[in-house]
């Protein structure tokens, strides 16, 4: 079974993406079940790989039996299996939420069984692309998966119709530019070293260290992936994309998409290219851009009146925080970055499912639309509250622990960058306090009558969210609570793999 799992993890979603629309066209009713079963199977494969890598060490899998450096290799260590677990887990929730349909804007085309099947297929394709990025050990193959995931994401973003299509087009422009820059960078690397395999690349880089082309390659790769990771000031595509994406897809895209690109940055800059001078400089710059992003994202989130747009800006702040951790590169910082990826993915997914659903059902995205929801749907709102508190970093939610690690790492790093990061993270918590408590206060302590444009047509008391959204919201909130407290075993397993990985690469360098 251990031999089969790596192939299954990447193949299942890709094959499923083709099968589910077929099922939808032929059998109609079983689409949901088929999609959910597939996602559950992918999650099980990810879980199996995680355990297996934890118990017996990292797994190297040669695709088609062609070993590296000539063939494509997949590589499953603590780090990649952790992110795979996150992606596959979030996908299960997203698939559940897809039952809600993309019909929040009245501009969305009417849902038909085939359309539903195609959207579910797109989600599977997206998952397949992301898992591929996470697993692959080949820099060109990574580009292929990057494009697969991007194309699937454009489809999902555009499925809302109306302004969603514009947002999707904008995302497409940014994503294509990012992919091209990355590809150029890989081209330079290949021309320099004649290899695409990451391990091989790391071993050969020291011999071309003096070449100026290496600097160009590193910068191209860093800029390309930073666009996808929404590193400030390359974040322009993010707010509109997150806001106009239909709710079920938004919960998934906002949760994991940028993070997988941040993971790719960590792999390439933090591990493969870490030994190069250009790589070190880029990582240093990344800390400062991260600091700028943390502050700018927070400030702009405070300025937003619409809840989903506020959530989108808060994501830019969070991505800045993750990239600060990636840039610092110490064990503490990487733990913090990984932890924040998980904490932010769970909490932001929960909030986007919730806020998107409320926006669709209450006909508005303003904070005032949240007035009185606390008494109408206490459990849902309690779940959203937990997620919001995690975003602020209140203990004992997961967000507190990730901030703790990142703050410790900043102090340990010292120097101007460390101090700036420390101050920025504290400041971002304060800003998050302002913009999240504004929403929570409305939800729990205001009545709809307080709202300026209160109208008599407000919905009668009853559930705020339909089940397809309420279940992910509550489930994710529970995970947010548990992750923080029970994360030590994960961390114990992930970090040594990372450290031995970087140590091995620096040992191979002559």
Partner 1 sequence: MTDIVSLRPLLAVGAGLAVVLPILLSGRRPALREAWTFVAGAVQLGAALSMLPAAFAGAAHVSPALPLLPGMPLQFRADPLGLLFLTLSSVLWLATSSYSVGYLRSLGLKHQTGYFAAFAAAVAAAAGVALAANLVTFLICYEVLTLATWPLVVHKRTSGVLGSGRSYLAYTLIAGQLLLGAVVWAGTLVPGAQFTPGGFLAGAASDGVLRVLFVLLLVGVGSKAAVFPLHGWLPAAMVAPTPVSALLHAVAVVKAGAFGVLRLTGWVFGPDLMHDLGLSLPLAALAAGTILMASLRALGEDHFKRRLAYSTVSQLSYIVLGGAIGTPLALAGAAFHIVAHGFLKITLFFCAGSVYAATGREHISQLSGLGRAMPFTFAAFGVGALGMAGIPMLPGFISKWNLALGALDDHQVWVVALLVVSGLLNLAYYLPILRIAVFEPGDDRRVREPSAWLVAPPVFAALAAIVLGLNPDAGARFWFLAESAAQSVAAHAPEFLTGGLP
Tell me which residues touch partner 1 (CB under 8 A). Answer: 332, 378, 389, 392-396, 400-401, 403-405, 407-408, 411-412, 422, 426, 429-430, 433, 437, 441, 444-447, 450, 485, 488
Give the nearest distance from C-beta 427 to partner 1 in angstroms: 8
Q: Which is nearer to partner 1, 20 or 337 (CB)?
A: 337
Other CB atoms within 10 A of residue 444 CB: 17
List, in sequence order, every residue forming a beta bridge with 138; answer none if it has no partner.
197
Supply φ then ψ for residue 64, to 5 degrees: 70, 15
Q: Which two tokens stand for residue 509?
A: 């360098």
CB neighbour list of residue 504: distance below 8 Å, 6 or more residues apart = none
Residue 312 CA, chain-centre distance (Å), reads: 12
Would you give the distance in Å from CA 104 to the centre of its chain? 23
Between CA 150 and CA 139 the distance in angstroms is 17
Contact present, 4 and 97 (Cβ < 8 Å)? no
Residue 116 C-beta: closest distance to partner 1, Å = 37
Q: Which is nearer to partner 1, 237 or 401 (CB)?
A: 401
DSSP state of 34: H
DSSP line for 114-152: HHHHHHHHHHHHHHHHHHHHHHB-BHHHHHHHHHHHHHH
When the beta carbons of 70 and 486 are compared against partner 1, the nearer one is 486
Rounded distance, CA 88 to CA 126, Å?
11
Rounded Cα distance between 141 and 152, Å, is 17
- 406 and 400 Cβ atoms separated by less than 8 Å: no
Q: Distance between CA atoms of 413 and 25, rounded to whole angstroms?
A: 56
What are the phi and psi torsion angles at 61 (to 5°)?
Answer: -125, 120
Contact status, residue 430 vs residue 424, Cβ threshold 8 Å: no
**Nearest to partner 1 of 165, 408 (CB atom):** 408
Least separation in angstroms between CB 289 and partner 1: 22
Whether residue 403 contacts residue 340, with contact meaning beta carbons closer than 8 Å, is answered with yes
Q: How far is the CB of 460 from partner 1 (least distance, A)?
A: 20
Query: CB-based burial of residue 126 (10 Å sphere; 0-12 exposed, 13-18 middle, 19+ buried)?
Result: buried
Distance between CA 24 and CA 95 in Å, rounded?
15
Beta-strand ranges (E) seen in 283-361 are none
The CA R_g of the chain, rounded to the nearest whole Å, is 22
**H/E element, 452:** none
CA angle 249, 250, 251 (to 5 degrees): 90
């Amino acid at each position: 079974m251990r031999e089969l799992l790596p192939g299954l993890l990447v193949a299942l979603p890709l094959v499923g993406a083709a099968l589910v629309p077929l099922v939808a066209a032929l059998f109609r009713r079983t689409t949901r079940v088929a999609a959910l079963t597939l996602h559950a199977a992918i999650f099980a494969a990810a879980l199996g790989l995680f355990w297996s890598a934890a118990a017996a060490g990292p797994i190297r899998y040669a695709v088609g039996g062609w070993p590296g450096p000539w063939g494509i290799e997949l590589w499953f260590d603590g780090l990649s299996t952790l992110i795979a677990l996150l992606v596959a887990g979030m996908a299960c929730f997203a698939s559940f939420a897809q039952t809600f349909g993309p019909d929040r804007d009245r501009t969305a085309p009417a849902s038909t069984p085939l359309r539903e099947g195609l959207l579910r297929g797109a989600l599977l394709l997206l998952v397949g692309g992301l898992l591929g990025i996470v697993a692959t050990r080949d820099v060109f193959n990574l580009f292929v998966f990057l494009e697969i995931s991007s194309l699937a994401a454009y489809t999902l973003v555009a499925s809302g119709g109306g302004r969603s299509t514009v947002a999707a087009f904008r995302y497409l422009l940014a994503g294509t530019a990012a992919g091209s820059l990355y590809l150029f960078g890989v081209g330079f690397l290949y021309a320099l070293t004649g290899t695409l395999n990451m391990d091989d690349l790391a071993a050969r880089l020291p011999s071309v260290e003096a070449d100026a082309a290496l600097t160009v390659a590193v910068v191209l790769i860093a800029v390309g992936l930073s666009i996808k990771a929404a590193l400030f000031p390359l974040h322009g595509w993010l707010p509109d994309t997150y806001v106009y994406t239909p709710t079920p897809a938004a919960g998934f895209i906002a949760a994991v998409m940028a993070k997988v690109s941040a993971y790719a940055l960590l792999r390439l800059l933090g591990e493969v290219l870490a030994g190069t001078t250009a790589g070190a400089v880029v990582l240093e710059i990344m800390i400062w851009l991260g600091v700028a992003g943390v502050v700018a994202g927070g400030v702009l989130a405070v300025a937003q009146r619409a809840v989903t747009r506020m959530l989108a800006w808060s994501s830019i702040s969070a991505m800045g925080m993750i990239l600060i951790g990636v840039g610092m590169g110490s064990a503490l910082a990487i733990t913090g970055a990984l932890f924040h990826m998980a904490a932010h993915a769970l909490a932001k997914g929960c909030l986007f499912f919730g806020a998107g659903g409320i926006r669709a059902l209450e006909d508005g995205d303003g904070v005032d639309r949240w007035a009185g929801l606390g008494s109408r749907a206490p459990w849902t709102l309690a779940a959203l509250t937990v997620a919001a508190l995690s975003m602020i970093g209140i203990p004992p939610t997961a967000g507190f622990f990730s901030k703790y690690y990142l703050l410790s790492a900043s102090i340990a790093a010292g120097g101007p960058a460390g101090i700036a990061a420390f101050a920025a993270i504290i400041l971002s918590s304060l800003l998050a306090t302002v913009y999240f408590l504004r929403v929570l206060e409305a939800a729990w302590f205001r009545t709809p009558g307080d709202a300026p444009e209160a109208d008599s047509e407000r919905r009668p008391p009853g559930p705020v969210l339909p089940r397809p959204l309420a279940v992910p919201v509550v489930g994710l909130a529970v995970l947010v609570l548990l992750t923080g407290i029970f994360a030590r075993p994960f961390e114990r397993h992930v970090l040594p793999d990372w450290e031995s990985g970087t140590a091995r690469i620096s040992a191979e360098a002559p």
